[in-house]
Chain A
């Protein structure tokens, strides 16, 4: 199974600060159809996860454009350009290229 390694496990930020989260895969997430199925989710405290970015860099409808995703192959990054209070929670990367699909362990974003 594909292993996704997220770093850092915890991130402390001030409001307005820009931060990045890394997700590294144990094998390439480039599908044979040419797509890369690496997605990012946010789970706020007490809530269900919500999709932020799909297929590496595509912003889900309604998600603020301060969120952006990049990467290819095995290395991917989620960037938040100017953290806001509502961004606090746990961020997960998830891959849907190789079944069974797998999640990263999560990165908890806290206020400094």
Chain B
């Protein structure tokens, strides 16, 4: 059964680093690429980056300097780290694989 679960802190202070985990079941990370997508409240979807099945990464041009995606294939987990968070980074963060989406994790950036 396919399941994706995003986890991480609900609240992050400005200028701090966001760390999120996407735990995948039903797909092998060495066979499929995992994507991170975010959505500011009431707005559209924004593609953040990709962990390819072969370990290569690709990032949104606007976020590239702050963003890092990594993985642990033994745990079937993909990690997102983004530094220097600001209030406009507030929103719901999703991971997706093979057309399946997680429920998302809401992140609020506030002091």
Query: A residues touching B (Cβ–Cβ < 8 Å)?
Result: 1, 41, 43, 48-51, 54, 60, 90, 92, 94, 99-106
Determine if B26 is an interface residue (Cβ-Cβ < 8 Å): no
Q: What would 17 more interface pairs be, CB under 8 Å, given A49-B37, A99-B50?
A: A43-B45, A48-B102, A49-B96, A51-B99, A54-B99, A60-B99, A92-B44, A94-B47, A100-B47, A100-B58, A100-B61, A101-B50, A101-B58, A103-B45, A103-B46, A104-B44, A106-B45
Are A103 and B102 in touch, CB under 8 angstroms? no
Complex interface: chain B residues within 8 A of A41 (CB): 45
Q: How far is the CB of B54 from chain A (nearest CB, A)?
A: 14
Are B99 and A92 in touch, CB under 8 angstroms? no
Are B45 and A49 in touch, CB under 8 angstroms? yes
Give CA–CA (A54, B58) in the complex, Å. 21
Query: B residues touching A (Cβ–Cβ < 8 Å)?
Result: 35, 37, 44-47, 49-50, 58-61, 94, 96, 99-104
Give CA–CA (A49, B45) in the complex, Å. 9
Give CA–CA (A94, B99) in the complex, Å. 12
Complex interface: chain B residues within 8 A of A94 (CB): 45, 47
